[in-house]
Amino acid sequence: MLPLVRPGRAAAPLRRLCRRILLLSSSPQTPSPSSSSSPYSTKISPLLLLLSPRPSPASGGAWRWRGVSSCAVRAVDVGGEAASTSSDLSSPYLSVRIRCRKEDAEVLSEGLLCFGATSVTVDDIAAAGNLDEITITSIYAHGEDVDSSVSNAASSAGLEYKPVYETSVGKQCDWVTVVQETYESTKVINGLWVIPKWRTPPDPQAINIIINPGLAFGTGEHPTTKLCLLLLRETVKGGERLLDYGTGTGVLGIAALKVSCLVLLVYYYLQMGAALSTGIDIDPQAVTSACENMMLNGIDSNKMLLYLVPTNAQAACFPNIDKSEENKPTGGLELKSSKGSYDIVAANILLNPLLELVEDIIGYAKPGGIVAVSGILTEQVPKVEEAYSRYLENISVSEIDGWACLQGSRKA
C-alpha cells in the first residue's frame, strides 16, 4: 500500500511557482518565434492557446492551479521524514583551522581523522611557499570535543607542541546553492539540452529540459544521464508509457515526454513523445525536486506521475498517513496495478540496488518492453548482464567515459 500524503515542504515552492505562472498567463501574448522574451513565455503561451477553446484565460489559469494541486498530491512527500533529513542537512558543523609545521601536516591529518574529524583539508603545500607553517582546515560534527581530539591527534603524531587552532561554526545550507551556480547548460546531442533553471537556453529551437536540481541527482552533466537520454531519444516513438525507477530530478521522465517533439510546434503543442511518464524514488527530496521540474517544463500532472516508495521495495504499509481530503489512498494501488504495463523502464541507480531489485525492475516492464539500467561502471557490466540475462533478450551495452548503460527487451 502506498498511501499518498499531502506534501508539507513541497507545497510552498510550488505555490510560488504557480503564482509566477498565473501572472504570466494573465497577460497573454502572441508567441513570437524569436525568443527575446524569457523562456517561460514561449512555454506558457502555447499552453494557453491549447486552453483557449475553453472559456477564458482566467479559467485557464484556474485549471492550471488545479493541475498544480493534483500534482502536489501525487508527488508523495512524507512530512516527517523530510523534516528529519532537512534537519540533518541544516545542522551546523564545526570548522577548525589549525596551524602546524609543514612537515607535520601529513601525520597530523591522519591523527585528526583518527580522532573524530570527519574531514581534513590541506591547502596546497607548494603554494604555501616559504612559510614554515601551514593551515589545515578540519571539519567536525556539531558537539564533538575538538580540544581533546586535537591534542590526541598531536600526541599520536608525535608533535612536541600543541598546535594553535580556532573554531568556527558553519551552517549547512549555504554551500548547496553556491555550488549550484557552477552548473552549466549541457548539450546531450544536437537538439537536446539540459538547462539549469537559472540559465537561458543557448539554443531556443532545441528541446530544452529545464532542471532545478536541488539535492536530487540528475543535472544532465553526468555520463549516465546522457546515456539514458540518448537511449530515450532513440526508443521513444510516440505514445509509450515510461517508468523512471529512481527518478532523482525527474530528468528522464520529463525527457521522454518532450523528446521527438517537432520544432515547428511552437504554435501547436502536439506531443509526439511518450504518453505517460511515471517516476518513483525512495528519497522524498527527489520526489520534491521532480515535481518542481515538472512544473518548470510545463508538464501536466496527468502526463507525469510521481511516487515516493518505501526503501523496502516489497511495498510495505506506510505508517504515517495524512488524513487530509486531498489524500488519495488509491495511488499505491495504481502503482502496483501498473506492474507489467510499461513500454520502457529506465533505472539509473547503482550496482547493488540494481542487482537486488532485478525482479522488481523487470516486473514493471511489459513483455517485449525495453528495460534500460545505468549508473554502472564498465567493469561492473558483466555482473549486471549476468543478473539480467535471465529476463532480458537482445542485450546491448553503450558506454561513455567509463560509465555504461545496459538495455534489453523483456522476455515474454
Partner 1 sequence: MATTLKDAVARKPVLATIRLIVPAGAARPAPPVGPALGFYRLNLMAFCKDFNARTQKYKAETPMQVTLTAYKDSTFEFVVKSPPVSWFLKKAAGIETASGRPGHNMVSSLTLRHVYEIAKLKQSDPYCKHMSIEALCKSIIGTANSMGIEIVKDL
Interaction site with partner 1 (CB under 8 A): 88-89, 93, 95, 109-111, 113-115, 118-126, 137, 139, 141, 148, 152, 155-156, 170, 172, 175-176, 178-179, 182, 213, 215, 217, 219, 221-222, 224, 350-352, 375-377, 380, 402-403
Nearer to partner 1, 47 or 215 (CB): 215
CB burial readout 116-148, b (16+ within 10 A) else e: bbeebebeeeeeeeeeeebbbebbbeeebebee
Cβ of residue 262: shortest distance to partner 1, in angstroms? 33
**C-alpha to C-alpha distance for 303 and 320, rounded to whole angstroms:** 27
Cβ of residue 406: shortest distance to partner 1, in angstroms? 14
Nearer to partner 1, 303 or 383 (CB): 383
Q: What crossing angle do the helices spanning 251-258 and 284-296 adopt, rounded to 10°?
A: 30
Q: 344: buried, middle or exposed (CB in 10 Å: 19+, 13-18, 0-12)?
A: buried
Nearer to partner 1, 122 or 395 (CB): 122
Nearer to partner 1, 219 or 277 (CB): 219
What is the SS3 assignment for 342?
A: strand
Nearer to partner 1, 148 or 389 (CB): 148
**C-alpha to C-alpha distance for 255 and 231, rounded to whole angstroms:** 11
Quick one: which of 216, 284, 199 has its CA closest to 252? 216
Nearer to partner 1, 244 or 343 (CB): 244
What is the SS3 assignment for 334?
A: helix
Cβ of residue 133: shortest distance to partner 1, in angstroms? 16
Nearer to partner 1, 70 or 152 (CB): 152
Cβ of residue 98: shortest distance to partner 1, in angstroms? 14
HEC string of 199-243 equals CCCCCCCCEEEEECCCCCCCCCCCHHHHHHHHHHHHHCCCCCEEE
Cβ of residue 187: shortest distance to partner 1, in angstroms? 17
**C-alpha to C-alpha distance for 123 and 136, rounded to whole angstroms:** 7
Cβ of residue 113: shortest distance to partner 1, in angstroms? 6
**C-alpha to C-alpha distance for 113 and 118, rounded to whole angstroms:** 6
Nearer to partner 1, 143 or 329 (CB): 143
Cβ of residue 394: shortest distance to partner 1, in angstroms? 25
- φ and ψ at 406, to 5 degrees? -110, 130
Cβ of residue 290: shortest distance to partner 1, in angstroms? 15
Cβ of residue 301: shortest distance to partner 1, in angstroms? 26
Quick one: which of 152, 163, 211 has its CA closest to 186? 211
Quick one: which of 166, 144, 230 has its CA closest to 194? 230
Quick one: which of 372, 369, 368, 349 has its CA closest to 229? 372
Nearer to partner 1, 88 or 325 (CB): 88
